[in-house]
């Protein structure tokens, strides 16, 4: 069932340790088949060294396991909320990458301070609000997803143009048109968080990028008039992210 998608999501999961985005196995990737309304996700508590494509668990958009002998990631309800709320995404990644966690623990957005950011994220990456005690006790992982969606609604953000969020006190989620692009976005987020941390320590000046520079860099790579890479006017792919 969904063998091709399992292979793709398996490979995306295995990129996390290669890109230094996980300690131990603190991360998970999922990918969705929109036509069948089913996504596949890493099982909970399986080490990357032991993971096989056949270990991946198939889940429907109600968050119910459809196939698989193992428990799905404990973050499955968060993935379910995001797939339902963001209909154009094909893959989701959660990590505890340390620079993004440092901003999340501080409850701060990752601001748009340089063009590395603007190439992938059209705005600051929002830190969703902390959950209340009632939300945590009632449905922790589901409400985590709802807080992300709420942040995008309240700030009128486009989830395709800003394909990541921080969960306050916790860490980053990112997404993309498929699992591989979601992993790519997770890495960009971590790199930008590290750079921003140091920029913010170097100066107290307002160094947020002006809108016209965000426009330039973002649309140089995305949409009709993109001229970056070898396949302009197409959606960007992983390999095209050179500058």
Nearest CB to a copy of itself, comparing residues 48 and 152 = 48
Residues linked to residue 73 through DSSP beta bridges, in sequence order: none
Q: Which listed range, 4-12, 80-88, 156-164, 226-234, lies at the site for a copy of itself (CB under 8 A)? A: 226-234
137 near a copy of itself, judged by CB under 8 A: yes
Q: Between residues 97 and 162, which has the closer beta carbon with respect to a copy of itself?
A: 97
Find the radius of gyration of the CA atoms of the chain.
Answer: 17
Single out the segment in contact with a copy of itself by CB under 8 A; choices: 25-33, 60-68, 121-129, 157-165. 25-33
DSSP at 72: B
By CB under 8 A, is residue 170 in contact with a copy of itself?
Answer: yes
Give me the torsion for CA of 96, 98, 100, 106, rounded to 10°.
Answer: 100
76 is a site residue for a copy of itself (CB under 8 A): no
Query: If we measure between CA atoms, which residue out of 112, 113, 146, 117 comes closest to residue 129?
Result: 146
**Tokens 């063998």 — which residue?**
3
Give whichever of 2 and 193 is closer to a copy of itself, judged by the CB atom: 193
Residue 10 falls in the annotated catalytic set: no
Enumerate residues 172-211 that contact a copy of itself by CB under 8 A.
Answer: 184, 187-188, 191, 194-203, 205, 207, 209-210
23 contributes a contact to a copy of itself by CB under 8 A:
yes
Active site residues: 119, 228
């Amino acid at each position: 069932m969904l063998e091709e998608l399992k292979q793709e999501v398996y490979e995306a999961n295995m990129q996390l340790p290669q890109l230094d985005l996980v300690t131990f196995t603190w991360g998970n990737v999922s990918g969705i088949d929109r036509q069948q309304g089913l996504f596949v996700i890493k099982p909970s508590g399986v080490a990357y060294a032991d993971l096989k494509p056949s270990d991946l668990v198939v889940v429907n958009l109600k968050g119910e396991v459809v196939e698989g002998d193992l428990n799905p990631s404990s973050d499955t309800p968060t993935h379910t909320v995001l797939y339902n709320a963001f209909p154009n995404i094909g893959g989701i990644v959660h990590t505890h990458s340390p620079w993004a966690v440092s901003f999340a623990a501080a409850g701060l957005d990752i601001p748009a301070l340089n063009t590395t950011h603007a190439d992938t994220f059209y705005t600051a990456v929002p830190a969703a609000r902390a959950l209340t005690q009632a939300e945590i006790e009632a449905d922790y992982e589901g409400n985590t997803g709802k807080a992300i969606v709420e942040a995008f609604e309240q700030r009128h953000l486009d989830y395709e143009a800003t394909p990541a969020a921080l969960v306050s006190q916790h860490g980053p989620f990112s997404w993309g048109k498929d699992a591989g692009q979601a992993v790519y976005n997770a890495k960009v987020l971590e790199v930008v968080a590290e750079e921003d941390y140091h920029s913010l320590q170097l100066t107290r000046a307002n160094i947020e990028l002006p809108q016209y520079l965000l426009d330039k860099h973002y649309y140089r790579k995305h949409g009709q008039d993109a001229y970056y890479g070898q396949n302009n006017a197409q959606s960007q792919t992983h390999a095209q992210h050179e500058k």
